Amino acid sequence: MSTQERPLKVLRIIDRLIYGGPTRNVVFLTEGLARRGFDCDLITGLPAKGEGDMTFWAKEYGVHPIIINQMSRELGPRDAVVMWKLFRLFQKLRPDIIHTHKSKAGAAGRLAGFFYKWCSPSILKLQPRKVRMVHTFHGHIFHSYYGKFKTSVFIHIERVLALITDRIVTVSEQQTDEICNVFRIGKTSAFRVIPLGVDFCRTSTRSVFRQQSGIDEEEFLVAAVGRLCEVKNFSLLIQAFARALKADPKFKAKLAFIGDGHLRPQLEMYARDLAVEHSVIFAGFQSDVDALYPSFDVAALSSLNEGTPLTLIESMSHGRPVLTTEVGGYGDILGSRVRASDGFTIWDHGISVPSGNIGAYASALLFLAANPSLRGQMGEKARAYVHREFSRERLVSDMASLYSEMWEAMPAMQRTGRDQKMKAVGGGFSSA
């Protein structure tokens, strides 16, 4: 294929494919944009032990990532090797757009992209390589992850990286406001909000988790899906659950954690200390989470910091109400505010609780358990909302439009040969 016929080349970079929303996002985009005529590759590292590798899930969608063994979540000397390998890949694959996801891959990928852009023979003519850089914040690490000094360092790094980034993508309006206006990263004009997407073809109507775990149909099942790590603050959820059990003897319930992580032994011990170990289930990673959602009565989130939690959106797509702490983009998915009660707030699609408020969280659990009719109404509204706003195809279309916008905005003097002849076809690109 000649250069003039080559479709727009997109390299997507993420630190590792582990259970969670970012992994699903990059796989949906890589597969979906390829169907629309883009030439896409996904570059990733390897999960740490116990994190749960979702590479198998990517391959189910026909996505076979390029692996850089040295790329991981933590900063270290190996990052120099990662950037060198990325730089060499960029030289080989000649991307038109470099799109990074999450903090670690965002730093390594954009720095390597900067050197690729400017380390070119064309620079002798003051013409850098024709490449655009995009970064997606799925959440951020600007509070509740690290200490004050380390957090400050990361904020300053992101401010510098924003200077070499053409577009910054967030998953909610709230996240844009926080990153741009509160932490002063990037210019407002660089930001684009592209909400998450859900594959409704995987939505299940089965209800297998109760049978597998020996949970009676009459028992109220609260489930939290996610890694067992500090930022999820699952100790608050266990404490609130224990308080609800103690407050009302009629509260017959189970709490299930779907996921794994380094805090599992600590959380199991915490459940024993509170004498609720027989009511708390640690199910570990599950290869088909979609088959579990129909068993839940409520999907719970207790995080200290979030973007827009995909697990809540997926639960809503199965007609389940949500109970969440008021962090990240919670307000963007809960619909209209109905009223406040006992320290928590009732919304169209569920209930929100101030972060860290154990008493309000316990009260919200008891309220939801006592109102099955309201839960049903919340779930149906949530299902309709998610199917309207969070489809996988809408995610792909939004990103294709962003790439088109960026390419068309490139100065005409930089668009020669095939670039001037490229036109949009179904949101993608092909030669004219």
| Fold category of 3-197+391-431 in CATH | Rossmann fold (3.40.50)
| Total Cβ atoms within 10 A of residue 73 | 16
Looking at the chain, the domain(s) classified CATH 3.40.50.2000 span 3-197+391-431, 204-389
Q: List C-alpha distances in Å: 278 to 245, 273, 384.
A: 12, 12, 35
Q: What's the pTM?
A: 0.80
Residue 146, SS3 per DSSP: coil
Q: What is the pLDDT of residue 206?
A: 57
For residue 144 the two structure tokens come to 């509740």
Homologous superfamily, domain 204-389? Glycogen Phosphorylase B; (3.40.50.2000)
User: Which pLDDT does position 411 carry in this prediction?
Assistant: 64
Average pLDDT over residues 6-21: 90
Return d(Cα 94, Cα 87) in angstroms, integer. Answer: 10
Residue 380 carries which side chain, given as an amino acid letter?
E
Question: pLDDT tens digits for 250-276?
Answer: 999 999 999 898 899 999 999 999 999
The predicted pLDDT at position 421 comes to 36
Report how far residue 74's alpha carbon sits from residue 16's, in angstroms, rounded to the nearest whole number. Answer: 11
Please give the structure tokens belonging to residue 188: 């407002």
pLDDT for the residue numbered 125: 74
pLDDT of residue 369: 97
Q: Which two tokens stand for residue 293?
A: 């959602």
pLDDT in tens, 181-212: 999 999 999 999 999 998 887 665 556 788 88
Mean pLDDT value of segment 34-59: 90
Supply angle C-alpha 159, 160, 164, rounded to 5.
115
Q: Collapsing DSSP states into helix, strand and coil, what is residue 3?
A: helix
Q: What mean pLDDT comes out for the span 365-376?
A: 97
At residue 426, the pLDDT reads 43
